[in-house]
Amino acid sequence: MPPLWLQVIAWLALASALLCAAIILIDLRRHPQKMPIMDWVWPITALYAGPLAVWLYWKFGRRSSPEVTAQNSGKTEQRPFWATVAIGATHCGAGCTVGDIVAESTIFSAGITVGGSVLGADTLSLTAFEVGLFGWMAIMNRMLFSPHLQPNQPTYWFMMQIGMLIGYATSYPMNWWLIRRGIKEAM
């Protein structure tokens, strides 16, 4: 069992993430994104990045909504390239987040294991994201917690939030390269 202090932090992090996702969802009702998929990406990103996602959304995402663009005489605000890449990385991060939430919950609920473990991409950016996430999950599972955490524990999902942030960081350079080369569309 994880220490009490870590369980408290986990509950606070999860509550903060849900609050941040709700804040973004509420704002998206008035400021939908130019690319409709981003209406899903932003709140999903908040599930692991919490206040950082709200800041990124408010600073760059909200400003690219058609409503805000119209208020600026139809001009889309130019953003720095690092922000374009950061937003591009949220797209692959949201896909991984949804996949991990569904897969982890399903595998845990069904009692499925692979090689005695419940830790069992088809694109470069997703692979880069998963390298960071799975690297962290391996460290968490093999080195930090014995017995292993389970998906019915808040600490497990807090550790997943940390893993998603690490995955985001490892996907950033790949997204930089893909967007710079014109292989991936800027979000």
**H, E, C per residue of 18-67:** HHHHHHHHHHHHHCCCCCCCHHHHHHHHHHHHCHHHHHHHHHHHHHHCHH
pLDDT in tens, 14-46: 999 999 999 999 999 999 998 999 999 999 999
High-pLDDT (> 90) share of the chain, %: 57
Residue that the structure tokens 């982890």 belong to = 104
How many Cβ atoms sit within 10 Å of the Cβ of residue 131? 16
What's the longest Cα–Cα distance across the chain?
Answer: 59
pTM, rounded to two decimals: 0.77
- What is the 8-class DSSP label of residue 123? S
What confidence category does residue 119 fall into, taking pLDDT thresholds of 50, 70 and 90? Answer: very low
Query: Domain-by-domain residue ranges, the chain?
Result: 4-180
Q: What distance in Å separates the CA atoms of residue 187 and residue 139, rounded to the nearest whole number?
A: 32
Tokens (6 digits) for 187:
């979000």
